[in-house]
């Protein structure tokens, strides 16, 4: 079994999803309501933030996804006591933080990129940290140079070995002036989680300002941190000696919300996403409307639907917030295969995030991926050296095929394509999808999808 298939099975098992493939009979609109809870890309970081405190934290809206299980495992390996008093509520008690044994950390290696964010908190609590080889989706090189350079600027000593990275703080970490080469989400979080307890002031330039980062800042402020978000992507953090635990409800998962919205459009359906709010999705909503999708902002969610008639092609460039998120392009591209004409999507954040389009082509799509940006197209987002472009020509009817999930968002787009396609598809490696989509099998059932799971394990997923 290759490592992707192993990762997929591990991810599936972590949330009790034993089946690693699904057979879908497509061509039927998805209709109904699904609820989204806390964002994967906030919840996992909020869990790490609990390490910085000297009293317990309570996090609400925690989804049942395998990335949460990975971070829980890593926190427990470091002595954090984790309890769940009610569904979606975690209490994280850092009173007895200890260094973890290599084997305990390594058991989680390769599963997620979150371990890199343990560095600052562990350096503050223990004076040292060990980070195993990092995982996450295979969507580009995904280096960690911004993270390590920032940690060095705070005074950490970084030693790399074949097993991972060992960091020490011979003296107390001190505030620093840091400018990121790119507004990286993870590196901004790294700086925040380290600067809050460093001695003195940190000024971070070219910071990421995604809504999940604003929510992390809100959490840190509840804990006692002093953080100001200033114009032009500057964040100033005044370090404090100690932090206390927080109580917080996580911001909703806008990537999951956008994925269900795309599923409604691609299948000609009508899906209400409970828990979604407009502010965080404004850029997505504009594009959704331009393509021809309809939406209605409700008191407790957003309803998305295909109004009938042809869809329109669009030009999209992925970008950092407030631009069009890189995580939204994969699900939306499935709907673009049904638009009348040529759509162009420039991926400017990751250098390898169109791998999923091969499977869509097998299902009848006409998508051509260019390894560099298309010079002929005028656009808003600056050109980047490693960017790629996908040209989607539609409409092309989709038909069933056997496809294999390559990564989290690409995998969800395979599900959508199989649901939109006429005929039967088998999607394998679906465990990867459980890294970021809570109870997606149950939600598909709620929306009236027609599918089967391998018979021996079918009941395991109905949770
Ligand atoms: N980069 C570097 N060096 C670094 C860090 C990043 O060159 O040290 C580059 C990356 O290679 C990439 C770009 O900077 O080309 C942006 O990466 P960023 O650090 O912003 O991404 P991340 O923090 O690793 C998070 C989300 C991703 C999401 C991106 C962009 C988490 C756990 N992951 O990744 O989510 O696509 O921000 O918004 O928060 C997903 O949910 O499927 C997912 C991949």
Atom 5 in ligand 1: residue holding the nearest Cα: 144
pLDDT at 5: 72
CA separation for the pair 124, 193 (Å, rounded): 10
Model confidence pLDDT, tens digit, residues 344-398: 999 999 988 999 999 999 999 999 999 999 988 888 888 888 899 999 999 999 9
Query: Comparing C-alpha atoms, which of 63, 96, 62 is closest to residue 78?
Result: 96
Tell me, using a 6 A CB cutoff, whether residue 326 lines ligand 1: yes
For the CA of 146, the closest atom of ligand 1 is 8
Nearest alpha carbon, ligand 1 atom 11: 142
Tallying the residues shown for the chain, one arrives at 463
Give the atom of ligand 1 at the shortest distance from the alpha carbon of 137. 44
Instruction: Determine which residue's CA is closest to atom 16 belonging to ligand 1.
Output: 184
Work out which ligand 1 atom sits closest to the CA atom of 114.
32
For residue 137, indicate whether it is catalytic: yes
CB-based contact 372:344 (threshold 8 Å) = no
Question: Beta partners for 131?
Answer: 165
Pocket-testing residue among 66, 141, 142, ligand 1, by greatest number of atoms within 8 A of Cβ: 142
Alpha helices (runs of H) in 92-233, residue ranges in sequence order? 102-106, 119-126, 145-153, 185-195, 211-223
Q: Please state at what angle helix 326-336 crosses helix 282-291, rounded to 10 degrees.
A: 10
Instruction: Quote the pLDDT of residue 164.
Output: 81
| Ligand 1 close to Cβ of residue 321 (< 6 A) | no
pLDDT of residue 102: 75
Provide, for the chain, the percentages of residues in helix, strand and coil under a 3-state DSSP scheme, each rounded to the nearest 5. Answer: 35, 25, 40
**Burial class for 87, CB neighbours closer than 10 Å (0-12, 13-18, 19+):** exposed
Nearest residue CA, atom 33 of ligand 1?
Answer: 41
pLDDT over 90 (residue 55): yes
What is the DSSP pairing of strand 270-274 with strand 301-305?
antiparallel
Residue 461 pLDDT grade (very low, low, confident, very high; cuts 50, 70, 90): very low
Q: Is the pLDDT of residue 462 over 70?
A: no
- Residue 341 clears pLDDT 50, i.e. is over it: yes
Cβ atoms of 37 and 62 within 8 Å: the answer is yes
Cα–Cα distance, 79 to 73 (Å, whole number): 10
Residue 221 half-sphere exposure, CB side, CA atoms within 13 Å? 10
Q: Which position has the token pair 């991810």?
A: 11
Is the model's pLDDT at 111 over the cut of 70? no
In contact, 332 and 262? CB cutoff 8 Å: yes
Rounded mean pLDDT of the chain?
92
Q: How far apart are CA 332 and CA 280, in angstroms?
A: 17
Ligand 1: does its nearest atom lie under 6 Å from the Cβ of 349?
yes
pLDDT of residue 385: 84
pTM for this one? 0.95
**Hey, how many other C-beta atoms are within 10 angstroms of the C-beta on 312?**
15
- Ligand 1 pocket member 408 (CB < 6 A): yes
Instruction: Report the nearest-CA residue for atom 32 of ligand 1.
Output: 41
Order of strands, sheet of 31-35, starting from the edge strand that comes earlier in the sequence = 31-35, 270-274, 301-305, 294-298
Share of the chain above pLDDT 70, in %: 93
Spacing, Cα 113 to ligand 1 middle (Å): 9
Is 60 exceeded by the pLDDT of residue 141? no
Q: Residue 409: CB within 6 Å of ligand 1?
A: yes
Q: The tokens of 320 are what?
A: 């950092």
- 397-424 pLDDT per residue, tens: 999 999 999 999 999 999 999 999 999 9
Which of 112, 349, 405, 432 most suits a substitution to test ligand 1, by most atoms within 8 Å of the C-beta? 349
- Side-chain half-sphere exposure of 384, counting CA atoms within 13 A: 18
Closest atom of ligand 1 to CA, residue 112: 32
The answer, yes or no, to whether any atom of ligand 1 lies below 6 A from the CB of 346, is no
* Beta strand pairing call for 21-26 and 423-428: antiparallel
Question: Would you state the pLDDT for residue 2?
Answer: 64
Give the whole-angstrom CA distance, residue 55 versus residue 247.
Answer: 11
Q: How far is the CA of 396 from the centre of ligand 1 (A)?
A: 32
Predicted confidence (pLDDT) per residue in 302-314, tens digit: 999 999 999 999 9
Q: Provide the pLDDT for residue 152.
A: 97
Q: Which pLDDT score is estimated for 180?
A: 98
Q: Is the CB of 137 under 6 A from ligand 1?
A: yes
Q: What separation, in Å, do the N-terminal and C-terminal C-alpha atoms of the chain show?
A: 27
pLDDT tens digits, one per residue of 234-288: 999 999 999 999 999 999 999 999 999 999 999 999 999 999 999 999 999 999 9
* Residue 463 confidence class, pLDDT cut points 50, 70, 90: very low
182: which 2 tokens? 């790119």
Judge if the beta carbon of residue 140 lies within 6 A of ligand 1.
yes
Rounded to 5°, angle at Cα 253 from 361 and 325: 50
Q: Is the dihedral of CA 257, 410, 286, 296 positive or negative?
A: negative
- pLDDT tens column, 193-234: 999 999 999 999 999 999 999 999 999 999 999 999 999 999
For 198, residues 6+ apart whose C-beta sits below 8 A from its C-beta are 124, 154, 172, 173, 174, 175, 176, 237, 239
Q: Report whether residue 113 contacts ligand 1, using a CB cutoff of 6 Å.
A: yes
Residue the block writes with tokens 């060990």: 130
């Amino acid at each position: 079994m290759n490592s992707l298939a192993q990762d997929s099975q591990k991810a599936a098992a972590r949330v009790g999803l034993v089946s690693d493939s699904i057979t879908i009979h497509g061509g039927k609109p998805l209709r109904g309501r699904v609820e989204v809870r806390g964002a994967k890309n906030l919840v996992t970081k909020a869990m790490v933030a609990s390490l910085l405190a000297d009293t317990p934290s309570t996090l609400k809206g925690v989804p049942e996804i395998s990335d949460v299980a990975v971070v829980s495992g890593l926190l427990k390996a470091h002595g954090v006591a984790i309890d769940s008093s009610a569904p979606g509520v975690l209490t994280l008690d850092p009173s007895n933080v200890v260094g973890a044994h290599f084997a305990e950390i390594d058991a989680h290696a390769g599963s997620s990129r979150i371990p890199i964010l343990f560095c600052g908190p562990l350096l503050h609590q223990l004076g040292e940290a060990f980070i195993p080889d990092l995982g996450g989706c295979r969507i580009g090189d995904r280096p960690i140079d911004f993270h390590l350079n920032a940690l060095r600027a705070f005074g950490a000593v970084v030693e790399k070995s074949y097993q991972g990275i060992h960091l020490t703080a011979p003296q107390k970490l001190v505030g620093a002036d840091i400018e990121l080469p790119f507004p990286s989400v993870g590196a901004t979080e790294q700086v925040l989680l380290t600067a809050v307890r460093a001695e003195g002031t940190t000024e971070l330039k070219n910071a990421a300002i995604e809504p999940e980062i604003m929510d992390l800042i809100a959490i840190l402020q509840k804990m006692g941190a002093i953080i100001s978000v200033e114009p032009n992507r500057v964040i100033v953090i005044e370090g404090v000696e100690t932090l206390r635990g927080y109580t917080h409800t996580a911001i909703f998962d806008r990537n999951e919300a956008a994925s269900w919205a795309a599923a409604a459009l691609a299948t000609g359906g009508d899906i209400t996403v409970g828990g979604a709010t407009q502010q965080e999705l404004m850029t997505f909503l504009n594009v959704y409307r331009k393509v021809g999708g309809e939406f209605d902002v409700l008191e407790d969610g957003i309803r998305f639907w295909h109004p009938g008639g042809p869809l329109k092609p669009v030009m999209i460039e992925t970008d950092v917030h407030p631009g069009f998120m890189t995580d939204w392009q994969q699900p939306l591209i499935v709907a673009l295969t049904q638009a009348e004409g040529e759509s162009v999507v420039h991926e400017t954040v990751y250098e390898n995030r169109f791998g999923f389009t091969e499977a869509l082509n097998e299902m009848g799509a006409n998508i051509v991926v260019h390894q560099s940006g298309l010079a002929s197209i005028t656009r808003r987002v600056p050109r980047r050296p490693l960017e790629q472009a996908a040209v989607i020509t539609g409409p092309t009817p989709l038909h069933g095929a056997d496809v294999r999930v390559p990564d989290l968002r690409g995998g969800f787009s395979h599900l959508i394509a199989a649901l939109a396609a006429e005929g039967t598809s088998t999607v394998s490696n679906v465990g990867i999808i459980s890294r970021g989509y809570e109870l997606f099998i149950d939600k598909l059932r709620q929306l009236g999808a027609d599918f089967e799971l391998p018979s021996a394990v079918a009941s395991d997923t109905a949770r």
